[in-house]
Amino acid sequence: MSADHLQETYKSYLGAYSDVEPTEREHLLRESVTDDVISINPEGESRGIGELVKHIEQFQKQKPGAHFQSNQLLSHHDQFLAEWTMYSNDGAAVATAHTYGRFDEIGLITYLIGFFEQPGK
């Protein structure tokens, strides 16, 4: 899998966290993650696209208009380490953090673990 393809896949995944219509969110996830994707971060975990959609919808309710940008994506042997920044709806950088993940043989994300500090902890 080319580095450009993996970058685009990860960009689509991050785009699903943006303030987009539900059909667009579903489309972005279907082109970036497997049906049985596992996502774990300090705020919880989800298994499968359905649970991931619910997690993202809750994120947008808590932080309306927030979105992410990939700063760096390192990959080898179907694994990756990403650095990303979260931005508020007014474009201010809120946090920079990291995600470890795995791609399947066709380049879809199968597993994600996000590492970031939760405010107040």
Whose tokens are 């919880």? That residue is 44
Q: What's the pLDDT at 120?
A: 53
Are the beta carbons of 32 and 109 closer than 8 angstroms? yes
Q: Please report, for the chain, the start and end positions of each structural domain, with discontinuous segments joined by +.
A: 3-115
Q: What's the pLDDT at 119?
A: 58
Tokens of 107: 């380049």
Q: How many helices (H) and strands (E) does the chain have?
A: 3, 6
Q: What's the pLDDT at 54?
A: 95
* 115, pLDDT greater than 60: yes
Answer whether 0.85 is exceeded by the pTM: yes
Q: What's the pLDDT at 3?
A: 85
Residues in the chain: 121
Which architecture, in CATH terms, is 3-115?
Roll (3.10)
Distance of CA 61 to the CA centre of its chain: 16
Using only the alpha carbons of the chain, give its radius of gyration: 13
Mean pLDDT confidence for 18-39: 97
**82-99 in b/e burial notation, b at 16+ Cβ within 10 A?**
bebebbeeeeeeeeebeb
